[in-house]
Chain A
Amino acid sequence: MSEVKRCTLLEAVNLALHRAMRESEDVLVLGEDVGINGGVFRATLGLREAFGFKRVIDTPLAETMIAGLSVGMAAQGLKPVLEIQFLGFVFAALEQLLAHAARLRCRTRGRLSCPLVLRSPMGAGIRAPEHHSESTEALFAHIPGLRVVIPSSPARAYGLLLAAIDDPDPVVFLEPTRLYRMNPQPLADDGRRLPLDSCFTLREGGDITLVSWGASVHETLQAAERLAGQDVSAEVIDVACLKPLDLDTLEASVRKTGRCVIVHEAPRSCGVGAEIAASLYERALLDLQAPIQRVTAPDIPPPLYRLEQLYLPGVEDILAACEATLNYA
């Protein structure tokens, strides 16, 4: 069925899960409140009704168990799509991810592998209580053996999640909570996968390259629109696949424009922006007209919601960085 429907990012995730589970019986979903409740954000809505309790599993409350179980199931050839209710609760699962999911293929020289997908809502900006606003994608991007994907639109969520489920390696698929219900867009349930090692250029431009991912893409696009009003043409790239990074696209854009601003919600130090900046300097130093700017959160835990706006990079912050870059000596 390739009918086109207006979908939010959340609905696109749901659509992709339904399709993946239809296409292969090995795909199953597990996590807390994913079955009867359809997920606390309704990402798994309707799956229990469609595919039954053996493939849509409401687990006891235990993230270590959910991740560890998924490793075992994946090694047996199943394709578990596990949900961690909020990224802030993933830490109990880290040992299973780092010590096992990321290494099983390598340790057994390919005899066993771990094709699981870990889905989790990430990021701040929804006035949530403590521990529900984390952006720790850098932790995962740092682990060899994992893939890390963060969609920023319904179409990309759909295509990337399908590809992630297909992928023979473990994928951490982080969904920006703030974007879940924003900006519904026309989407065809056509099963079309998107590549897991590409950036996506959302806006073509020649004066400056804006690089972002996750919910920050929303503000970055707004900044590009404002720049257009000032006759500055910005190229906006959604990194989307943080590991492995498509540095060729980023490099080519920076060679073209000579200026770059990276925007991410995660704290500055050792964020993925640092990796991108370092790599761009290595590859395109002589093409840069100004230092690369990073617009990020400061090095603090996400504050409770009253001070959240100081943590999150805003459109004006991005514009200020662009101005500094464009007016560099």
Chain B
Amino acid sequence: MNQPEIPLTRYLAPDGRPCATLPPWAADVDLLTRLYRQMVLTRLFDLKAVALQRTGRIGTYAPTLGQEAIGVAIGSLMRPEDVLVPYYRDTAVQLMRGVRMEEILLYWGGDERGSDFQDPAVAEDFPLCVPIATQALHACGVATAFKIRGQHRVAVTTCGDGATSKGDFLEALNVAGAWQLPVVFVINNNQWAISTPRRIQSGAPSLAQKALGAGFAGEQADGNDVLAVYDRMQAALERARQGKGPVLLECLSYRLGDHTTADDATRYRSAEEVKRAWEEEPIKRLQGFLAGQGLWDEGREQALVADCQARVQRAVDNFEAAGNQPPEAVLDYVYARWPAALMDQREVLLERAARRAGGQGHE
């Protein structure tokens, strides 16, 4: 069988040394440093979120460990007027876009205010999406609105390798190709969908080539190489913004953490495999490159870490100080206005809240 040629982009080898001619923009030291700093912040925040779950201060959380490069690259390239339609393992891109750390903590901490983003830059971004791949179609809808209105804006949507098996994903690709929508699909192929490994998820050699069935370009990038992701993302966004249609970018990475804080991946994969994957991880890779160029050192590392820790701690403090929503909040946002016909339910709810407050709990 003739398999199509799917380009794979990689600039840095796992140890940080260039393995291909770097693109011109990679000479921008400030840019690279910014990318590095953001990846470190993401990781530290991500680890903190896991710790908060372990100590019961937030609920189940989906860690991004090892996949920071993808989100940071996407988030740094999207414009404020673009719209992000994420899945649920998107701490990296959310932070880069302008979602606040305390909002992320509120969301996983069981408080809907976490999806009411305050920063104007993310006013139209979608919240995290749990039902797999359904967000891909939302992105197509957003892109359709852009197209109808003649706006030069792009919808960017992310998903995992598991999501590419779902009907929603394939229907999204199809309509994006049929209508030449200004949408960029980014697959975070971290090789695992809970316990399902990539090889039994699909018979296709690459997930990127699913775009071909929908009539547009699909390509791969090394998801642990932030330069590669940045480069291909930049091209994809430009293409979409110019009205030349959608792009599917499959980023190859590895899920170094568990599926969620409640999952235990040691049940279904070997420690050796995880150990090997650590050698490819993105932060060490870029650090290796920067250090090799004489652009990074231990002192700067320590200062960065200290700064990030402080920022994370401030966010945690804000999160803890956020308090709880009032009981009426469960009703107030279901409709534009809670219907008069259901007003008796409001009374029942407040009675129930009073009982709970009086210590007459559920458990």
Contacts and interface: CB of A to CB of B under 8 A. Distances in A.
A310 B327 contact: yes
Interface in A64-107: 64-65, 88-89, 91-92
Given A36-B267, A64-B166, 17 more contacts: A32-B196, A37-B268, A60-B162, A61-B162, A62-B166, A89-B132, A92-B168, A130-B130, A269-B342, A298-B330, A301-B334, A306-B110, A306-B325, A307-B325, A307-B329, A310-B352, A320-B351
A131 to B, nearest CB: 4
B202 to A, nearest CB: 6
B324 interface: yes
Given A89-B132, A309-B361, A314 B355 contact: yes
Interface in B101-146: 107-112, 128, 130-132
B309 interface: no
A168 interface: no
A125 B363 CA distance: 10
Interface of A: 32-33, 36-38, 40, 58, 60-65, 88-89, 91-92, 125, 127-132, 219, 268-269, 298-301, 303-312, 314-317, 320
13 contacts: A37-B267, A129-B59, A129-B60, A131-B130, A131-B131, A298-B346, A299-B345, A300-B331, A304-B112, A307-B324, A307-B327, A314-B355, A314-B360
Interface in B179-195: 193-195
A125 B110 CA distance: 12
B201 interface: yes
Contacts of A125: 362
Given A299-B342, A307-B329, A219 B362 contact: yes
Contacts of A312: 362
B334 A309 contact: no
A61 B196 contact: yes
A60 B201 contact: yes
B108 A129 contact: yes
Contacts of A317: 352, 355
A61 B349 contact: no
A88 B134 CA distance: 13
B89 to A, nearest CB: 12
Instruction: Give the interface size class of chain B.
Output: 35 or more
Given A303-B112, A314-B362, A58 B345 contact: no
A309 B194 contact: no
A310 B361 contact: no
Contacts of B202: 60
A314 B165 contact: no
Contacts of A89: 131-132
A157 B86 CA distance: 38
A89 B195 CA distance: 17
Nearest to A321: B348
A135 to B, nearest CB: 15
A32 B360 contact: no
B205 interface: no
B338 to A, nearest CB: 9
B244 interface: no
Contacts of B167: 62, 64-65, 92
Nearest to A60: B165
Contacts of A132: 130
Given A60-B201, A127-B59, A33 B168 contact: no
A309 B110 contact: no
Nearest to B200: A58
Given A300-B330, A306-B324, A60 B196 contact: yes
B356 interface: yes
Interface in B223-246: none
B57 to A, nearest CB: 12
B260 to A, nearest CB: 8
Contacts of B165: 60-62, 65
A328 to B, nearest CB: 17
Interface string B76-91: 0000000000001000
